[in-house]
C-alpha cells in the first residue's frame, strides 16, 4: 500500500468521529482532494462517485473553496452520480441531473461532458442502466465514491432488502424515503415513486468509499451500518465488505455506536505509522 488516502486504510471500515458537521465537510473534502492529487501524480485524472442529498453539500462547498483558492486542480476529473428519479425531466430543479449540476459540476468547475447521471427518462430503463454500468467501466472505474446514508440505511437509492450484489437498475422508493424527500417538492405526491440507482455491487466496485453523515436522525442507521449485522435490511452495512471504506460522522450521528472509544483509540494510533506505510 502506498501513502496518502490508500495508506490510511487498514482493510477495515475506518470510523472517524468529529465534533461538528463543518468538521465532517473539511475532512471529507480533504480526503477527496487527496484522491484527486494522487491520481494526478500518477498521470491521470480521477473519477469520482458523487451523491445527492444534504449530507455532502458542506463537502462540495469545501472542495469549491479549495478550487477557487488554487489549492485543487479538478481539470479532467470525471464524475458518476449514484441515482436519479424516474419520470421527471432533467430540467426539473429537483431532478438529480439538476441537483448534481448545481451542487457539484458548477461549483467545482467540472467539465459537464465528464459528469454522468443515470437516465430516468429512457424508454428502456434496463438498457440505460446497463449502458451506465458500461460507462463506469469504460472510464476506468470510480476512484472514490462519496456517499450519504438514508435514515433507513439506504445508500444511493438501494432501499432495505436490496440485493447486496445488485447492479444499476430501476427501483421502487420506500415510503419513508419519499416522505424524507418530500421537502424538496411542492407537495408529497409530486415525489416520484420510482428511481434508477447504482446497485450495491456497483458501489462496492469503487476503489475507495467515503460516507458522510451528520445529526441525530442518522444515528440509528449509522450504528446499524457499522456495528449491525451485514444485512440487506441495512444496505449501508455492505460497506463492511469493502477493504477501503471510511465513514466520517459528527458526534450526534455517532451517538448510538457502542465502540466509540475504540474508534477514537484507532485514530490516535494509526496502523500506517506502525507499518511505516
What are the catalytic residues?
Answer: 83, 152, 154, 159
- Position among 156, 192, 201, 235 found at the interface with ligand GLP (CB under 6 A): 156
Site map 14..53 versus ligand GLP, x via CB under 6 A: -------------------------------------xxx
Quick one: cell of 133? 454500468
Q: Is 235 in the site for ligand GLP (CB under 6 A)?
A: no
- Position among 152, 177, 237, 252 found at the interface with ligand GLP (CB under 6 A): 177
Which residues, 192 to 221, sit near ligand GLP by CB under 6 A? none
Quick one: cell of 95? 431532478
Quick one: cell of 128? 440505460
* Surface-to-core class of residue 24, CB atoms within 10 Å of its CB (0-12 exposed, 13-18 middle, 19+ buried): buried
Phi-psi category of 87—alpha, beta or left, where left has phi over 0 and alpha has psi -120 to 50? left
User: Are 197 and 157 within 8 A, CB to CB?
Assistant: yes
- CB closer to ligand GLP out of 26 and 178: 178
- Position among 78, 118, 150, 199 found at the interface with ligand GLP (CB under 6 A): 150
SS (H, E, C) 54-66: CCCHHHHHHHHHH
Shortest CB 229 distance to ligand GLP, Å: 21
Q: Which residues bind ligand GLP (CB under 6 A)?
A: 51-55, 82-83, 148-150, 156-157, 177, 181
Amino acid at each position: 500500500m502506498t501513502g496518502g488516502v490508500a495508506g490510511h486504510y487498514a482493510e477495515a471500515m475506518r470510523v472517524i468521529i468529529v465534533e461538528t458537521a463543518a468538521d465532517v465537510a473539511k475532512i471529507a473534502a480533504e480526503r477527496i482532494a487527496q484522491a484527486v492529487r494522487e491520481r494526478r501524480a500518477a498521470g491521470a485524472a480521477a473519477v469520482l462517485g458523487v451523491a445527492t442529498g444534504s449530507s455532502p453539500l458542506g463537502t462540495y462547498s469545501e472542495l469549491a473553496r479549495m478550487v477557487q483558492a488554487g489549492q485543487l486542480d479538478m481539470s479532467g476529473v470525471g464524475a458518476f452520480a449514484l441515482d436519479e428519479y424516474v419520470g421527471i425531466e432533467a430540467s426539473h430543479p429537483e431532478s438529480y441531473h439538476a441537483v448534481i449540476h448545481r451542487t457539484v459540476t458548477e461549483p467545482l468547475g467540472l467539465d459537464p461532458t465528464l459528469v454522468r447521471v443515470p437516465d430516468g427518462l429512457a424508454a428502456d430503463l434496463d438498457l440505460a442502466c446497463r449502458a451506465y454500468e458500461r460507462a463506469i467501466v469504460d472510464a476506468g472505474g470510480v476512484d472514490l465514491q462519496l456517499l450519504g446514508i438514508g435514515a433507513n440505511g439506504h445508500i444511493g437509492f438501494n432501499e432495505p432488502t436490496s440485493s447486496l450484489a445488485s447492479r444499476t437498475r430501476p427501483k421502487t422508493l420506500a415510503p419513508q424515503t419519499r416522505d424524507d424527500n418530500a421537502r424538496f417538492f411542492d407537495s408529497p405526491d409530486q415525489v416520484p415513486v420510482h428511481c434508477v440507482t447504482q446497485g450495491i455491487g456497483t458501489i462496492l466496485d469503487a476503489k475507495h468509499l467515503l460516507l458522510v453523515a451528520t445529526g441525530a436522525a442518522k444515528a440509528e442507521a449509522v450504528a446499524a451500518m457499522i456495528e449491525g449485522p451485514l444485512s440487506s435490511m441495512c444496505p449501508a452495512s455492505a460497506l463492511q465488505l469493502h477493504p477501503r471504506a471510511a465513514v466520517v460522522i459528527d458526534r450526534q450521528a455517532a451517538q448510538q455506536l457502542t465502540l466509540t472509544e475504540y474508534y477514537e483509540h484507532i485514530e490516535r494510533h494509526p496502523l500506517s505509522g506502525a507499518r511505516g506505510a
